[in-house]
Structure 1
C-alpha cells in the first residue's frame, strides 16, 4: 500500500489527488513500460474491457490477454475509519502465463483525507508447455511480479506531480499504455487475429 497524499476530509475533491489518481489508474498509466505495456480499444466501458498486455523480460516479449470484470466504488471501513474506495479488477484470459485476478484500488479516508493506492493479486502459474519458459517463469516470475508492484506504486506517485493528458487512441482505435509507448513488435498482428474485423 502506498500513501499518495491527502485532501480535506470528506468525499473526494473534483480535482484533488484521489480523482487525478483515479484517471491515471483507469488508463493504466502506472505500469512501468520496461516491464508491462497494454493496448485496448477506445472508447469503451471499463468493465468488459479486453486488454492485450505485453510483458517484457530482457529480449523476450510475452503477449497475454486480460479482461476487466469488476469495478468498485463504495465506502468501507479502513484503518482510519470509513473510506471511499474505487478501483477495478481484471482476470487473466486463456494463454496468459498465470491464472488469477488482479485488483487496483484507491482509498480515501473520509476522516483524515489520506489517499492510498493498493494492489491485490491472486494468481498461480498457468500450464506452460515449453519447459524452458516454464523454468524461466519459476525462476524469475515472482521476482518480476514484485518488481512490477513496486514500480507501479512509485510511478503513480511520480505521475501525480505532472499527470499526462487523457489517452489518445491511434489511427487503429487503440490506446497504448502507458502514454508514449510504441506498438509492440507483434501487437497489430495479434490483435487482428483476436479481432478479425479490426
Structure 2
C-alpha cells in the first residue's frame, strides 16, 4: 500500500522535511479571545483505588495514547518514526477536511510522567504545531488515575488558533468549518479511547491489526483505511506557509 496511505503524496519525503521546521508560535501570544483555550475530560473504566493496575484501564489507555490510536482516521492521521524517542518526535499529520487533505507538522515537546497532589498518577505527552501548520498551538493528551478513588480520566487540554498566513480560500474554510471540525475531533477521540480500552479489558486486540506503513514510518491510527479515491482529494502541504510546498514528487 505504501504511498497510498497518504493519497498521492510522497509522505516520507514531507515528513523528513519537518526536522528543520520551527514551532510556529510563542506562548506569550496565547490569550482569549483570539485563541481557543479548551479542556476536555473523558471518564474511562474505573480501577480499584491505589496505583494503576497491571493490564488495567490506565495502562491500556496510556498505550493507546502513546501510539496515537485514539485519533479518528476520518479526521486526522499521523505519520511518525516508531523508533524515535517520544520526546522530540516529529509527526506529519494529515487533516482530512471536506474533500481536502492538509499535511501539517507537529513536534512532541513535552512528556508527562508524574504524580500530582500526592494522589493523581499522570502520564501523557504534548505536541506543538510547526511552521506551515494549518493552526498554531499546543495539545496535551494525559491519562490520569485518581489513586484515592480509582477513577481514570482521559484529559485533553489545548490552546489554538488558525494560522494567520492561510490563503484566502483556506482561511475562509477554516472560519466556516475549522472550529466545528476541531470539536468533533475531540469528541471522536474520547469515544474511540473509551471503546478501545473497554475492548482491551476483555482481551480483545484494540485496535485490530498492525498499523499501515510508509517506508519505515508508522501511519496511525492502526485502523486507518486506505482508499484510492483519496488521491482525488485536494492535497495541500504546509497550508500555513507563506510559500507552500507542492504536494507532488520533487
Instruction: Indicate how the Cα distance of structure 1 residues 75 and 166 shifts in structure 2: closer, same or farther if over 3 A, else same.
Output: farther
**RCO (CA 8 Å, sep 6+): is it higher in 1 or 2?**
2
Query: C-alpha separation between the residues in 1 aligned to 2:177 and 2:214?
Result: 36
Instruction: Indicate how the Cα distance of structure 1 residues 118 and 169 shifts in structure 2: closer, same or farther if over 3 A, else same.
Output: same
Residues 48-87 of structure 1: pairs in structure 2 closer than 5 A: 48-77=88-117, 82-87=119-124
| Aligned match for 1:44, one of 84, 94, 102 | 84
Aligned to 1:112: 149
Can you give the 5+ residue segments of structure 1 that lack an aligned partner in the other structure? Answer: 194-198
TM (norm. structure 1) is 0.86
Contact 1:27 1:167 in 2 (8 A): no
Query: C-alpha separation between the residues in 1 aligned to 2:214 and 2:190?
Result: 31
Matched, 1:100 2:142: no
Corresponding pairs, count:
185
Range that drifts further, 165-174 or 144-153? 165-174
Can you give the 5+ residue segments of structure 2 that lack an aligned partner in the other structure? Answer: 1-40, 200-205, 238-244, 246-250
Instruction: Indicate how the Cα distance of structure 1 residues 153 and 42 shifts in structure 2: closer, same or farther if over 3 A, else same.
Output: same
Structure 1, residues 107-147: CA drift from partner, whole Å, max 9, x if none?
Answer: 00111111000100111221234101111101111111111
Aligned to 1:130: 167
Query: C-alpha separation between the residues in 1 aligned to 2:65 and 2:207?
Result: 12
Instruction: Indicate how the Cα distance of structure 1 residues 97 and 180 shifts in structure 2: closer, same or farther if over 3 A, else same.
Output: same
- After superposition, the CA RMSD in angstroms is 2.1
Instruction: Indicate how the Cα distance of structure 1 residues 171 and 90 shifts in structure 2: closer, same or farther if over 3 A, else same.
Output: closer
Structure 1, residues 157-186: CA drift from partner, whole Å, max 9, x if none?
Answer: 011122236955636111111103239759
- Matched position secondary structure for 2:83: coil
| Aligned match for 1:155, one of 183, 189, 192 | 192
Q: Which structure shows the higher strand fraction?
A: 1
- Matched position secondary structure for 2:191: helix
TM (norm. structure 2) is 0.69
Contact 1:48 1:67 in 2 (8 A): yes
Moved over 6 A (4+): none
